[in-house]
Amino acid sequence: MSKRDLKKYLNELTKSQLEEQIIELYEKFVPVKNYYDFVFNPKEDTLLRESKIKISNEYFPARAASGKARKPKMRRSVAQKYIKQFILLGVDPFIIADVMLYSIEIAQTFSSEKIIKSELFYKSMLNSFSQAVSFMIANGILSEFKTRIIAINKETFNQKWFNFQEFDAILERFEY
């Protein structure tokens, strides 16, 4: 169905029929519920805090109920899920950029304490860094995050990441 066909269909419905359809969508589809929950009560600070806790738990998991330490999963996808959700909801770009950088910073904190042998980890962090910088450029907020971006880049060198030069190359694309 095209957007034009949808508009035509919606124009044919009565107000009560439209309300019924929206309520049905709200009850049936979690993304619709999340959207309306956010639109009518945009607690961005709560979303930010929750996302940072979940991202941190990927690298520094809380102890299980049995008291045993859980193994870190180090999944970049957890952060990416939040970032995608925030973009869909229309969350403030400053908050999205903060989460993007936080996910890299927490991974660097973890890698400073534990040796990571997987090249995939470093490649995914480079991808996250590139996406974050591109997002900030596109939203005109790069200068506000300059200090954190430079610190992340320096940390890749300090920790001797095999791809630290590629992080440098990303920074060289723009003047800071």
| Domain range summary for the chain, segments of one domain joined by + | 1-41, 46-172
User: Confidence band (pLDDT; 50, 70, 90) for 52?
Assistant: very high
User: Confidence band (pLDDT; 50, 70, 90) for 31?
Assistant: confident
Instruction: Examine the pLDDT at 111 and tell me if it is beyond 90.
Output: yes
Cβ-based neighbours of 104, under 8 Å, separated by 6 or more: 125, 128, 129, 132, 152
What integer best gives the mean pLDDT of the chain?
Answer: 91
pLDDT at 1: 86
pLDDT at 41: 77
Place of tokens 């970049």: 76
Place of tokens 């999963």: 73
pLDDT per residue over 127-159, tens digit each? 999 999 999 999 999 999 999 999 999 999 999
- Three-class SS of residue 43? coil
